[in-house]
Amino acid sequence: MENITTIAVIGLGYIGLPTAAILASKGIDVVGVDVRQSTVDAVNRGEVPFVEPDLGTYLAGAVTQGNLTASTKTPAADAYIVAVPTPFKDDHAADLSYIEAAADAIAPQLVGGELLILESTSPPGATQHMADRILALRPDLRHKDDDGGLFFAHCPERVLPGRVMIELVTNDRIVGGVTPRAAERAKSLYETFCQGEILLTDAKTAEMAKLVENSFRDVNIAFANELSIIADKVGVNVWELIELANHHPRVNILQPGPGVGGHCIAVDPWFIVDAAPEEARLIRTAREVNDSKPGIVVEKVVNDLRTKATPRIAALGLAFKADIDDVRESPAIEIVHALAERLTDATILVVEPNVVDLPTELEGENVSLSTLEVALNSADLVLVLVDHADFRTIESGALRGKIVVDTRGIFA
């Protein structure tokens, strides 16, 4: 790893912290930077502030060995990995303000020769935008030669929550450089822990590759979600239908759900739509289908409870996928929030084994966290929103006499 002995990882969330921990486990001095003092304090204690299997072992070891520390201040370093949020605005254009804030904090620390990697999932051109912003702040570094200049690259993460520590090591990696030399330097860094193939390209192609991967998945999920709506209308069990269809050797339909959540699949396709709004017709339609699914679930629950004056609902799960605590863009939260507003006389008991407190948007008189046993015993309607392992063990007797709306097919 050429001339890199210290690395600053900007953003200690679901991608930044695992990346910092795994780099530090290789004996590299890493400083993790985050705006949240609580996150910084937790990391410095060797504690993981969210749920991710195996991360705790890596983190505790790296902190104990002194290779990983955390701070709210951006330090001088040989390399920077920017892993901050990239949400979209109301018009679905990317909000690059977090990347810009990271760039503004990095710029004063630079002396020349540093490698700057953007890992945040970004629209095409975001890495160049970060480079232009930093070089505008540091024009003294703009015209330096290859050794004294700055090296910008985009290396999108491609990991699955719940398997991050495994997939950071085993997955192939795309590395796109603003220049070929930047790509080579970034590849050298990732070779310290990545056992998969490292594929080199330019920065804009790397940005698009990540968006295309998630858009492909979004389109296929939209097919399954639309199929579930059609099957319900014509009176067919969609789970059985998909199972039968998938016996065809060239058919592999995904499973439907209450919508699509998480920071990747629910967000990334909009970056392609924003970049080419007239051309991205299929990608836009898939997003619209998946974004409409929470509302369809709400209408079904409201209709099923139309004869109940003061219904009690057991809402199982808030995370965007099973067995994690990540609620970003979760359709479960959207559904519970809408039900609380529509059914003001209802009591909604939320069961989410991976969170301690309700998200702020769900705080209200008729929504509360509950244990699984209490929620099931008192519910008129059981609404399955996430297929957590805890829910898969529910016995059929616990559902007797209750209305069941199963968006995940665990009781199919």
What's the pLDDT tens digit per position in 270-312? 999 999 999 999 999 999 999 999 999 999 999 999 999 999 9
pLDDT of 161:
84
Between the CA of residue 401 and those of 77, 376, 378, 382, what are the distances in Å?
Answer: 62, 11, 11, 11
Residues 130 and 251 in one domain: no
Residues 166 and 274 in one domain: no
Q: Domain boundary residue among 172, 196, 220?
A: 196
Residues 260 and 189 in one domain: no
The answer on pLDDT for 214 being more than 90 is yes
pLDDT of 148:
63
Residues 188 and 297 in one domain: no
Q: Do 20 and 9 contact (CB within 8 A), yes or no?
A: yes
The answer on pLDDT for 262 being more than 90 is no
The answer to whether position 271 is within a domain reads: yes
Residues 153 and 110 in one domain: yes
The answer to whether position 205 is within a domain reads: no
For residue range 358-373, what is the model confidence (pLDDT) as tens digits? 988 898 889 999 999 9
Residues 25 and 141 in one domain: yes
More confident residue, 412 or 99: 99
What average pLDDT does this structure show over 94-109? 97
The answer to whether position 204 is within a domain reads: no
Rounded to 10 degrees, the C-alpha dihedral 104/17/35/336 comes to 120
> 247 is written with which tokens?
């016996």
For residue range 236-254, what is the model confidence (pLDDT) as tens digits? 999 999 999 999 999 999 9
Which residue range forms the structural domain that includes residue 16? Answer: 6-196
The answer to whether position 279 is within a domain reads: yes
Residues 230 and 373 in one domain: yes
What's the rounded Cα separation, in Å, for the pair 230 and 232?
5
For 122, what's the count of Cα atoms within 13 Å in the CB-facing half-sphere? 29
The answer to whether position 206 is within a domain reads: no
What average pLDDT does this structure show over 321-346? 93
Residues 239 and 292 in one domain: yes
The answer to whether position 314 is within a domain reads: yes
pLDDT of 149:
86
The answer to whether position 411 is within a domain reads: no
For residue range 137-163, what is the model confidence (pLDDT) as tens digits? 999 897 665 556 899 999 998 898 889
pLDDT of 143:
65
Catalytic residue ranges? 210, 264
What's the rounded Cα separation, in Å, for the pair 134 and 392?
50
Residues 180 and 122 in one domain: yes
Q: Strand runs (DSSP E) across 249-401, as ranges?
A: 312-316, 347-351, 367-369, 381-384
Of 344, 254, 333, nearest to 297 by C-alpha is: 333
DSSP 396: G
The DSSP bridge partners found for residue 31 are: 8, 69
What average pLDDT does this structure show over 225-240? 97
Residues 219 and 192 in one domain: no
Q: Domain boundary residue among 149, 171, 196?
A: 196
What's the rounded Cα separation, in Å, for the pair 299 and 233?
13
What average pLDDT does this structure show over 220-232? 97
Residues 166 and 264 in one domain: no
How many degrees, rounded to 5, is the angle at CA 206 between CA 204 and CA 212? 100
The length of the chain is: 412
pLDDT of 363:
83
Q: Is the pTM of this model over 0.85?
A: yes
The answer to whether position 52 is within a domain reads: yes
Q: Do 238 and 181 contact (CB within 8 A), yes or no?
A: no
pLDDT category of residue 264 using cuts at 50, 70 and 90: confident
**How many domains does one find in the chain?**
2
pLDDT of 51:
84
Residues 337 and 369 in one domain: yes
The answer on pLDDT for 73 being more than 90 is yes
Question: CATH no. for residue 58?
Answer: 3.40.50.720
pLDDT category of residue 3 using cuts at 50, 70 and 90: confident
